[in-house]
Amino acid sequence: MGLFTKLKNEFIDIIEWLDPSNNTIVYRFERYQNEIKMGAKLTVRESQVAVFINEGQIADVFQPGMYTLSTQNMPILATLKGWKYGFNSPFKAEVYFVNTKKFLDNKWGTPNPVMVRDPEFGPVRLRAFGVYEYRVEDAAKFIKDIVGTDGDFTVEKINNQLRNIIITRFSDAVAESKIPVLDMASNYNEFSEKIGQVIIDEYKEYGLNMTKFLVSNISLPEEVEKAMDKRSSMGVLGDLNRYTQFQAANAMEAAATNPGGGAAASGMGMGMGFAMAGQMMNAMNPMQQQMYQQPQQGGYQQQQPVAPPPMPAQSTFFVAVNGQQSGPFDMNTLSSMVANGQLTKDTLVWKQGMPSWAAAGSVQELSSLFGAVPPPMPGMPPVPPQM
């Protein structure tokens, strides 16, 4: 650098910074040998803070406004330099402009699924996504603890650390909430507020302030979501028979009104539609099938399915066995008792509607149980009746 350029840089300065990038948090104002002359003009715009650093030590911090640099508005630097009676020569100091605007639309997400125990599905893996916003609240602290001597500090250099804090706090909050997976969508605001309150304190350690934290989505693994979709579809379909009829009707209508195939295609489409309808009807419960339409005066009326008459009630009888009442017994049981000799024609029986007990042989309904008694064979004495 020539002598003229060096001398030119020692005259009154205009110190300012216009951010062309929209992602720069801290920018170091470059000067020849960091020399600043008395009376230099400092312009700090809205959403900016200017920090003066002398020999590695933070000195004065300037809020938005225009300043003419002097010992009056640089008390810390004047003390460090020992300017008891003012100064008339250039001085050396580093000037860092800190962007205090909100940095928006910073995305976060769980790189690995978060394992939780759900009361309905059991152990499941969750993924979550969202956005967050932040701004520099304490410029001096941010430079001291995070930036250091970096003269061009962008959001990419700190967002990874900020996301790690979010993911850790989110995973812990989801596991402790014990909210069912299906109810999490209705609790996004609660998650956002709870996690945001925890993260605010941690961000303050860096001189930052989290202005907004949002949970945009909490999702299940793809295979679990497919199973849930099938389960939901079954609930939406409701009556499968009516749904089958509706699908058959749609198929027939679409085939019959196909404009691209002409008459032949229309007939083929109708045939396919009727075939599909027949197959679907055969698969349905016969009690729910519709009968063929019968011609009546004024048009056709659909015949309703006819239900069979109820089965006739079977008679039951009480039987006197060894002087004790037993039963009632149906006809099948009584037939077995006759075969075993437990029921004879002389055994007393009774059923509802009979005036009194009677011998089983005298009851017409039971006569078929005993059968006909064959006549005696020729030359043989008659068989005495059973007692």
Q: What is the pLDDT of residues 229-272, one digit of tens each?
A: 666 666 655 555 666 666 677 776 676 666 555 544 444 455 54
Q: Please tell me whether residues 11 and 26 are part of one structural domain.
A: yes
Q: Please tell me whether residues 172 and 190 are part of one structural domain.
A: yes
CA atoms within 13 A on the CB side of 192: 20
CATH code where residue 108 lies: 3.30.479.30
- Read off the pTM: 0.54
Number of other residues whose CB lies within 10 A of the CB of residue 204: 14
Which of 99, 125, 149 represents a domain boundary (last residue)?
99
Length of the chain: 387
Q: Is the pLDDT of residue 35 over 70?
A: yes
Residue 302 within any structural domain of the chain: no
Residue 331 within any structural domain of the chain: yes
Residue 304 within any structural domain of the chain: no
Q: Please tell me whether residues 58 and 7 are part of one structural domain.
A: yes
Rounded-to-integer distance, Cα 329 and Cα 311, Å? 18
Which helix (H) or strand (E) segment holds residue 50: the answer is strand 48-54
Q: Please tell me whether residues 183 and 93 are part of one structural domain.
A: no
Rounded-to-integer distance, Cα 182 and Cα 161, Å? 31
Beta-carbon contacts of residue 386 (< 8 Å; ≥ 6 apart):
344, 345, 346
Q: Please tell me whether residues 125 and 195 are part of one structural domain.
A: yes
Residue 92 within any structural domain of the chain: yes
Beta-carbon contacts of residue 157 (< 8 Å; ≥ 6 apart):
150
Q: Please tell me whether residues 210 and 246 are part of one structural domain.
A: no
Q: Please tell me whether residues 185 and 217 are part of one structural domain.
A: yes
**310 vs 205 pLDDT, higher one:** 205
Q: Please tell me whether residues 72 and 114 are part of one structural domain.
A: no
- Domain residues for the domain of 61 are 3-99
User: Residue 27: exposed, middle, or buried by beta-carbon count in 10 A (0-12, 13-18, 19+)?
Assistant: buried
Q: Please tell me whether residues 252 and 215 are part of one structural domain.
A: no
Residue 285 within any structural domain of the chain: no
Q: Please tell me whether residues 212 and 124 are part of one structural domain.
A: yes
| Residue 304 pLDDT class (50, 70, 90 cuts) | low
Residue 297 within any structural domain of the chain: no
Per-residue pLDDT tens digits for 41-64: 899 999 999 999 888 888 899 999
Q: Please tell me whether residues 193 and 243 are part of one structural domain.
A: no
Compute CA 250 distance to the chain's CA centroid, rounded to the nearest angstrom: 32
Q: Please tell me whether residues 77 and 182 are part of one structural domain.
A: no
| Residue 98 identity | V
The total number of structural domains that make up the chain: 4
Q: Helix/strand/coil (H, E, C) string of 211-266? A: EEEEEEEEECCHHHHHHHHHHHHHHHHCCHHHHHHHHHHHHHHHHHCCCCCHHHHH
Render 81-145 in DSSP notation, one character per residue: HT-SS---S-EE-EEEEEE-S-EEEEEEE-SSPEEEEETTTEEEEEEEEEEEEEEES-HHHHIII
